[in-house]
Amino acid sequence: MANSRAVRGTTSARHVAMIMDGNGRWAVERGQPRLLGHKRGVETVREIVKSCPDLGVTHLTMFAFSTENWKRSKTEVSGLMLLLRRYIQKEIADLIDKGIRLRFIGRKDRVEKGLRALMESAEKRTEHNNKLHLTIAIDYGGRDEMTRVMQGIAVDIAARKLTPADVSEALISSRLDTFDLPDPDLVIRTSGECRTSNFLLWQTAYAEYEFVDVNWPDFTPEIFGQMLENFMLRDRRFGAVAK
């Protein structure tokens, strides 16, 4: 098991956020259409979800489609949405069986109605599960999320339900899409790109980051386990002085 070899006193990562990148490059390197990379990427999602209990991960948040990804071709966007639909349909029984709670973060209002209904039904059917909290970010952007929070607060101040003095970090956190999730301990991005691309901007203020030069379809539970081990060797100070 990944945690057994770690020596430093740090606790293991409970919440891991995953920027699943490199599907397109994986396919293009093989002379295949980008969508094949996304299809293979779904296989990796299954493997990684399956590996979480053994690795001590209780919360897994996956970036599947960003607010900027609408800029891609119609074919790619609809292919991704279809893969998501199929993923929910195929996995739902297994998620229920394994006690996994599935949730979605992101705008929701721009997702096609049928898919949205499927997402909501999956959330409802798994809402009492707690073995693993699996959150999928669809049409999600950190800036968009914060903008929605600010609009909500502005509306409440205008309606005199809140005063400016009520606006606190806790209030903002409580209005984010992730309001009932702990902040991520570790963010992993595959494909070698070293940027956040608008993922969980507020929530990752003190997250640790790992950037791995492997495209998402080639990411494995072994690499994941290694990163969780690395995490345990880190000294997280949160602004204080090391003990």
Active site residues: 21, 69
Q: Which stretch binds ligand IPE (CB under 6 A): 88-96, 102-110, 148-156, 193-201?
A: 193-201
24 counts as binding ligand IPE under rule CB under 6 A: yes
> Can residue 191 be called a binding residue for ligand IPE (CB under 6 A)?
yes
Can you tell me which residue has the tokens 């902040």?
Answer: 183
- 85 touches ligand IPE by CB under 6 A: no
Q: Is 193 in the site for ligand IPE (CB under 6 A)?
A: yes
Helix, strand, or coil (residue 133): strand
- By CB under 6 A, which span of 21-29, 84-92, 95-103, 175-183 interacts with ligand IPE? 21-29
- Under the binding rule (CB under 6 A), the answer on residue 23 touching ligand IPE is yes
| 173 interface partner picked from Mg ion, ligand IPE, none, CB below 5 to 8 A per type | none
And the tokens for 90? 């195929």
Instruction: Tell me if 178 contacts ligand IPE by CB under 6 A.
Output: no
- Is 44 a binding residue for ligand IPE by CB under 6 A? The answer is no
Range list of H helices, 14-73: 23-29, 34-55
Token duo for residue 46 = 């299954």
CA distance linking residue 43 with residue 196, whole number of Å: 23
| Smallest separation, CB 107 to ligand IPE (Å) | 14
DSSP string of 70-125, one letter each residue = GGS-HHHHHHHHHHHHHHHHHHHHHHHHTTEEEEEES--TTS-HHHHHHHHHHHHH
